[in-house]
Amino acid sequence: MSDLAFKARELDSGDPLADKRAAFVLDEAVYLDGNSLGALPASVPGRVEDVVRRQWGELRIRSWDESGWWTAPERIGDRIAPLVGAGAGQIVVGDSTSVNVFKALVGAVRIAGDDRTEILVDATTFPTDGYIAGSAARMTGRTLRPVTPAEVPGALSDRTAAVLLNHVDYRTGRLHDLPALTAAVRAAGAVAVWDLCHSAGALPVGLDRHGVDLAVGCTYKYLNGGPGSPAYLYVRRDLQDRFDSPLPGWNSHAEPFGMRPGYEPAEGAVRGRVGTPDILSMLALEAALEVWEGVSVETVRAKSLALTDFFLECVAAYVPEGRVESLTPVRHEERGSQVALRCEDAGDVMRRLVERGVVGDFRRPDVLRFGFTPLYVGFADVERAARVLGETLG
């Protein structure tokens, strides 16, 4: 056994989250793509079967009341809330991340007021966020200004209406300073909107503590909700009565079954709803979130940093010098829960890794991404992945 393999065994023996691995459906592969699609929690298939066969098949329409379908968006939102540092009653689940970005950004502009004419957007953001920010700017008559997160404080002015930022960069894994940037945005009188897709379930977010105005996120990465599982929208409690959604559907009406021609928004997070929720995906997500019972995000974060530190150590030992370059910051306060390595012929390299049972992903033109989900990734997995990478590149 190599020194690093021995170290991995020692680290696994002291892992407080080691027992959580049994709560997932896994095989012999090293799965390091949970930052794209989380593994299947073992409780989900049985729950989905019950939803389909009994709730839908037997109770049918009665399940909207008797099975709690109608209240699922807020109920599941309250289960997500502790994972992102939010109190109850501020998160609603439903729609896609893209739709929620649109709702949040237009809502932010409306909160900011007509005298603020500019939207700032993360220039390094996931492409869809940028596309939607451009559309929101056109629809609201604002100008769009792309800036890097580091440039935000200097770009803010009394013209700034809203700022849309990613908490973790999807390519490099860089963690941006949510507390400081939120404080700067709010001090300028603008509204902060955060995309949490690559941080929720991997590290503490602290939405309430840091005064974030609005936030959105997906649930199929570190929250393991399944492919296409519904996203969520956070609206800070003291902003809820001012949140004017650009998509006022019947589900967010104060009297949804009144079928009135005029729209009157419901109170609280409910006004973030739009149409009929996707019950099958939503209740699969609810079952998936049960794996978080008894788990603190702080414990997850500690293991995440230990996993990524160990991976970088193993890569340095196993991979021939000069074959890869880490794009992920070394400093813990700047690192999410993934490691991105720049590598020549990255697409072909990842294909060969997958063939050998190490599953990460590839981002054009030359980035290998490895995501570390602390609930089911162990240190032996990390050592094996780096060793196979070294053999593949050697």
Q: How far apart are CA 129 and CA 198, in angstroms?
A: 13
The span from the CA of 186 to the CA of 213, in Å, is 9
* CA 286 to chain CA centroid, nearest Å: 16
Q: Which of 116, 369, 384, 387 is catalytic?
A: 369
Compute CA distances 242 → 43, 107, 194, 260, 268, whole Å. Answer: 39, 9, 18, 22, 10
Of the candidates 273, 277, 216, which has an alpha carbon nearest to the alpha carbon of residue 248? Answer: 273
The two three-digit tokens of residue 385, written as one number: 């992945």
User: What angle separates helix 3-13 from helix 297-318, to the nearest 10 degrees?
Assistant: 170
The closest of 278, 184, 182, 188 to 236, measured between CA atoms, is 182
The catalytic position among 220, 310, 376, 379 is 220
- Which of these is catalytic: 122, 195, 278, 381? 195
- Outline where 141-244 has alpha helix (H): 152-155, 178-187
- Taking residue 79's Cβ as centre, other Cβ atoms within 10 Å add up to 19
Look up tokens 């700047």; give the residue: 334
Catalytic entry in 24, 31, 102, 126 = 126
Please name the residue that has the structure tokens 């995501």: 371
* 134 alpha-carbon distance from chain centroid: 22
The DSSP bridge pattern shows strands 160-166 and 118-122 to be: parallel
Catalytic, out of 110, 116, 142, 221: 221
Burial class (CB in 10 A: 0-12, 13-18, 19+), 200: buried
Locate 64 and state its tokens.
């909207």
Contact 223, 288 (CB under 8 A): yes
Token pair in block for residue 20: 């959580």
Q: 370 catalytic, yes or no? A: no
Query: If you search the block for the tokens 């935000």, which residue do you land on?
Result: 152
Does residue 365 have a cis peptide bond before it, meaning omega lies within 30 degrees of 0? yes
Residue pair 194/183 in contact (Cβ under 8 Å)? The answer is: no
Active site residue 369: yes
| Rounded CA separation 349/361 (Å) | 10
**195 annotated active-site:** yes
Q: Which residues are catalytic?
A: 126, 195, 220-221, 369
